[in-house]
């Protein structure tokens, strides 16, 4: 069992019981970059779900909803190197951003002002993002410390 599976099972994340019409290649064609392998594995094996992991609430979107939600929130239009994959239920979405050097990172950014200057890195990979959550890392630790 890999790290991602161990964390998701710990929080009773539902596994996918049926195949979907949405293919990862269709998503990658639209976003024009390859999704990370650990996230593609997640999409093929798990469904969308929301829960508390560590200190943070997360909702990860189902593969079937990725493209329509990104279009609806105008993420593709405003952030062409970013795909939303979920939210924190508090006005920010969780996304995967392709950086200029070709590397990918997991980010948290506001739905309201879709500008990459507001991206906060919350993981260097999908697995790293889940591991940090499971270890209790808070996304807004610097803000809370200043308050």
Residue 147 has pLDDT above 50, yes or no: no
Q: What is the pLDDT of residue 141?
A: 64
Q: What is the pLDDT of residue 22?
A: 76
Write down the mean pLDDT value for the chain.
Answer: 91
Over residues 27-79, the pLDDT tens digits come to 999 999 999 999 999 999 999 999 999 999 999 999 999 999 999 999 999 99
Residue 119 has pLDDT above 70, yes or no: yes
Number of compact structural domains in the chain: 1
Q: What is the CATH number of the domain that holds 101?
A: 3.40.1580.10
Nearest-angstrom CA–CA distance, 1 and 105? 23
Enclosing domain of residue 41: 3-146
Nearest-angstrom CA–CA distance, 59 and 36? 19
């Amino acid at each position: 069992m890999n790290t991602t599976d161990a964390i998701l099972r710990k929080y009773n994340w539902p596994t996918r019981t049926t195949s979907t019409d949405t293919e990862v290649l269709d998503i990658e064609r639209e976003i024009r970059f390859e999704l990370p392998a650990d996230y593609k594995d997640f999409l093929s094996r798990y469904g969308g779900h929301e829960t508390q992991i560590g200190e943070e609430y997360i909702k990860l979107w189902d593969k079937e909803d990725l493209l329509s939600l990104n279009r609806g929130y105008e993420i593709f239009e405003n952030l062409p190197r970013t795909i939303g994959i979920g939210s924190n239920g508090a006005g920010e979405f969780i996304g995967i951003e392709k950086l200029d050097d070709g590397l990918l990172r997991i980010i948290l950014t506001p739905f309201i002002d879709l500008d990459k200057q507001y991206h906060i890195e919350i993981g260097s990979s999908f697995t790293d993002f889940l591991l940090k959550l499971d270890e209790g890392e808070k996304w807004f630790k610097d803000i809370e410390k200043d308050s």
